[in-house]
Structure 1
Amino acid sequence: MIRLIPLLILFLLSLLTVFKAPAYYLWLAAIVMTEYPVIFIGLTTIITVSGVWVSSYRTAGTALGIVTLLLFLSPMVRACIIAGNLQQDIAEAFSSMQCGNSPTVFRANQQPFSLMKLLKGTPALAYKTYPYVSYPDTTLNLDFYQSRVLGKRPCVIVIHGGSWSSGDSQQLPELNSVLAEQGYHVAAINYRLAPKYQTPAPVEDIENCLKYLRHHADELYIDTNKFVLLGRSAGAQIALLAAYTLRDTSIKGVIDFYGPADMVWGYSIPSNPLIMDSRKVMENYIGGPYKQIPAKYVTCSPLEFVSRQSPPTLIIHGANDVLVAYEHSRRLNQKLQQNGIKHYWLKLPWATHGFDYHLNGPGGQLSTYAVEIFLNTITQ
């Protein structure tokens, strides 16, 4: 019994690698279960093997341990399967942007997925903070990560998540350092937050950020013809909306990490209230319930503005996302297909919202690889 109880607890937690989390704290646990699987594989193995010296419930405990191990292994196995064709799939998705009769595969400086990296950390690079715009009631800053490759380089503008009402430029900074190492400047920005500020204020902030970076391009060594927007969650909605509405030809692409692309549909199908009151979150950002201001929900839905002039798009989303429905990305993918926009949708069947908290987890590795190849392709 001493062995069976911890194995039962681990088994229940391992179900989060397959099923959506039913409550807020289980959502947080799901990130840990799926992106740090080696820890739980090791723990389950130790407890299961200990059954050699335990007589009671030996068979039941061993069976439960094996099933639990398989579940904890599943994100890694699925990551390996996706990694096998990821490079070629992305290359084919953007083939018409490349030279020659056959697609040129733009390689990344890493493998799509490596078991050896699962427990490694990501070195943090230094950055400088600059105020990029001043309004009568607030000043906004950005954190600038200088490219480690000399010369005029493309710049990635990173827009944080946080339900449009929280978060800041230092959220999930590891990817910023990785991209700077690979030769990209990164400007991680703060923007005006709800409920005090509402849409389209954050898009205006991005526009002002672009103006600031262009004005200081010489001292920051920025190639002003090559900007890319990258957003997570609420920040992805802002990034997509800016990319599709600003009509700025210097925006060469946009990267959408699990963002809400259809605000009208999203309001009609709210999230699990045990995890987040998504309707209240949207009302704070947009200015009221849908029935009062339906037009405003339309005007802040990125997919409504997809056209044949939209920039290339990379979508990254986990199928077990419990905060932003996977359906948002399916709808955006369909709209991009209809308009002939070069894009790629990285689907992570086991992943939940915020999976890239651990950049070297299964989802973190695949998404970092996809981002790097996407950037290498669109900024050539």
Structure 2
Amino acid sequence: MSQENQPRFRKTRSLASIFAFLLASFIPSALSLIGLFLSLWIVIPAPTLFLLPLGVGAPEISPWLVGVNAIAILLLLRFLRKGWLSRLLLVGSVVALILSLLPLLQFPSTNQRFSIAMQSTLGADYINQIPQTKRAMMRPDPLLFDLFRGIPDSDIRYTSKIQFAAPDNVPLTLNLYQPLQKGKYPTIVMIYGGAWQYGTPDSNAAFSRYMAARGYVVVAIDYRHAPQYKFPAQLDDINTAFTHILNHVDDYDIDRDRIAVMGRSAGAHLALLSAFQSDAPPIKAVVDYYGPVELTIGYREPPNPDPINSRATLKAFLGGTPDELPDLYRRASPYQWVTRPLPPTLLIYGGRDHIVQAKFGKSLFDRLQSVGSRAIFLEIPWADHAFDAVFNGVSNQLALYYTEQFLGWVLR
């Protein structure tokens, strides 16, 4: 080798040595620790709001974590030297792999249970009662490779920030998502969550765009926030929004005889109240994603852990405790309004939810059935609150599949 090539050779050999060191030591260790840390949140409830994204997100990306943990195990077996640290990392990665497999292992039985729940309420042949044109646009399976590639987007018509009211000089707006072609479409009035204190109609835009591309008009509406504006200001704003929507059905391509209301968390609470009140708008169906339903019991029996401080949140919303405002707590509880047959209701809750516990959704389901209402309760055992924030995640794909079927049937 010539003398002038020797420095280049030494440099190449040095880079190769560095890469080999990384491959043999740092990368397997890092993958093992990262995989274990994230996988633990599949079973550990988030103790604080700051950590909540980990508890929400980990189950939803579990197939990715399966891959990370499997690769970590293979690298550890191939490259790491013998010793207690290597064995500890390997054991940690095996534990992480088992944890990351839990949602996928539970998926088939959960899906079967959901299918049975839908058929028992809507009828064994409910799928065939959905118009063929609508069925052709629906998801063919409850879990697709969309987790890796993303749920496909489609072209729609979109108009934002349409003002519908200004109570106390607070401008309230709505966002309008419409199919590309003009017509008369079944409609979903969407109410965002956020502990009644924050959020905008821009929330959950991916879902709204998705449904508009499948032949629905979606109207995402706003409302005033606590603690500055306490209940029933929020319900008043929802009612005002419905009045505006019904006055503009032709402008918005809405079929007024096929309107559903849907919400998430605090938005689901308001959706339920809007449909259950005695002078409710003409609502054909309700979709409730993890909404509070009995606020007095929710105050007296907060979850543990309690990442949002449920009692403080309810006091900010209502202005006091159940002992101070018993009548207001009852008025603000959808459960208390279930005294007669009500529109068909789909309730979807997470089994690991420590903000709105699934037992409350189940109690509302039982109450609805007791008065002769059609109701479906679906509990996703591995899911946390706001699971659908990961739109293409495991839980939301399952929830989206059955939400489409429910709306397709009830708004047919």
Q: TM-score, normalised by structure 1?
A: 0.91
Distance 1:85 1:264, change over 3 A: closer
Does structure 1 retain, via aligned residues, the 8 Å contact 2:358–2:379?
no
What does residue 12 of structure 2 align with?
none
Counterpart residue type for residue 114 of structure 1: L
Q: Higher relative contact order at CA 8 Å, sep ≥6: structure 1 or structure 2?
A: 1
- How far is the alpha carbon of 1:41 from its aligned partner? 2.1
Match of 2:167 in 1: 135
Q: In 1, are the aligned partners of 2:306 and 2:354 still within 8 Å (CA)?
A: no
1:32 aligns with 2:70: no
**Structure 2 CA distance, aligned partners of 1:210 and 1:74?**
42
Change (3 A) 1:370 1:215: same
- Where do residues 203-214 of structure 1 align in structure 2 (5 Å cutoff)? 203-214=235-246
Whether 1:82 aligns to 2:110 is: yes
Identify the residue that residue 98 of structure 1 maps to in structure 2.
none
Counterpart for residue 125 of structure 2 = 103
| Conserved 8 A contact 2:44-2:55 | no
Which residue, out of 236, 247, 250, partners 1:215? 247
Deviates more, 1:315-324 or 1:65-74: 65-74
Asked if 1 retains the 8 angstrom alpha-carbon contact of 2:147 and 2:393, the reply is yes
Alignment of 1:236-255 (within 5 A): 236-248=268-280, 250-255=282-287
Answer 1 or 2: which has greater helix percent.
Answer: 2
Equivalent residues in 2 for 1:266-281, closer than 5 Å: 266-272=298-304, 275-281=307-313
Is 2:160 the counterpart of 1:119?
no
CA distance in 2, matches of 1:168, 1:218: 25
Which residue of the partner structure matches residue 258 of structure 1? 290
* Bigger mean CA deviation after superposition, 281-290 or 35-44: 35-44
Q: Secondary structure at the match of 2:148?
A: coil
| Structure 1 vs Structure 2 CA RMSD | 2.2
Alpha carbons 1:148, 1:182 under 8 Å: kept: no
1:14–1:71 CA contact under 8 A, matched in 2: yes
Cα 1:296/1:119, change in 2 over 3 Å: same
Alpha carbons of structure 1 residues 12 and 304: separation in structure 2 relative to 1, 3 Å:
same
* Correspondences of 1:129-208 after superposition (within 5 Å): 129=160, 130-148=162-180, 150-208=182-240
**Residue number in structure 1 paired with 2:260:** 228
When residues 260 and 19 of structure 1 are mapped into structure 2, their CA distance, relative to the original with a 3 A threshold, is same
Relative to structure 1, the CA distance from residue 365 to residue 171 in structure 2 (aligned partners, 3 Å threshold; closer, same or farther) is same
- Equivalent position amino acid for 1:78 in 2: Q
Q: Where does structure 2 lack aligned partners over 5 or more consecutive residues?
A: 1-24
Range moving further from structure 2, 321-330 or 53-62:
53-62
Q: Does the CA contact (< 8 Å) of 1:160 and 1:232 recur in 2?
A: yes
Q: Counterpart amino acid of 2:121?
A: A
Q: Which residue does 2:93 correspond to in 1? A: 65
Structure 1 residue 264, shift from structure 2 partner = 0.6
Please give the secondary structure, in 2, of the residue aligned with 1:83. helix
Q: Evaluate the alpha carbon distance shift between residue 273 and residue 59 of structure 1 in structure 2; reply closer, same or farther with a 3 A threshold.
A: closer
Report the residue type matching 2:125 in the other structure: P
Which amino acid in 1 is paired with 2:97?
L
CA displacement at 1:50 relative to structure 2: 0.8
Deviations 1:22-68 (A, max 9, x none): 33333211222111123322222222111212122454433432221
Are 2:350 and 2:384, in contact at CA under 8 Å, matched by a contact in 1? yes
C-alpha separation in 1, matches of 2:193 and 2:255: 26
Task: Output the CA distance in 1 between the equivalents of 2:258 and 2:214.
Answer: 15
Deviations 1:262-283 (A, max 9, x none): 0010010224576212111111
Query: What displacement does 1:368 show?
Result: 0.8
| 1:127/1:145 contact within 8 Å kept | yes
- Residue 147 of structure 1 deviates from its aligned partner by 2.7
Cα distance in 1 for residues equivalent to 2:141 and 2:295: 32
| Matched letter for residue 103 of structure 1 | D
* Partner deviation per Cα, 1:206-227 (whole Å, 9 max, x = no partner): 2111211111111221111121
Query: Which of these two proteins has the greater Rg computed from alpha carbons?
Result: 2
Distance in 1 of aligned mates of 2:297 and 2:401: 31
Matched, 1:286 2:318: yes
Question: Which residue number in structure 1 is paired with residue 39 of structure 2?
Answer: 14
Q: Secondary structure at the match of 2:402?
A: helix
Question: In the alignment, is the contact (CA less than 8 A) between 1:217 and 1:224 conserved in 2?
Answer: yes
Q: Which amino acid aligns with 2:81?
A: S
Residue 48 of structure 1 pairs with residue 77 of structure 2? no
Q: Take 2:366 and 2:180, find their aligned partners in 1: how far apart are those partners?
A: 37
Kept after mapping to 1: 8 A contact 2:47/2:305:
no
The SS at the match of 2:397 is helix
| Cα distance in 1 for residues equivalent to 2:105 and 2:291 | 26
Q: Deviations over 1:183-212 (max 9, x none)?
A: 110000110111121111222222111211
- Identify the residue that residue 99 of structure 1 maps to in structure 2: none
Q: 1:310 is matched with which residue: 327, 335, 342? A: 342
- Aligned mates of 1:161, 1:249 — CA distance in 2: 21
Q: Which amino acid aligns with 2:140?
A: Q
Distance 1:309 1:340, change over 3 A: closer
How many aligned positions are there? Answer: 374
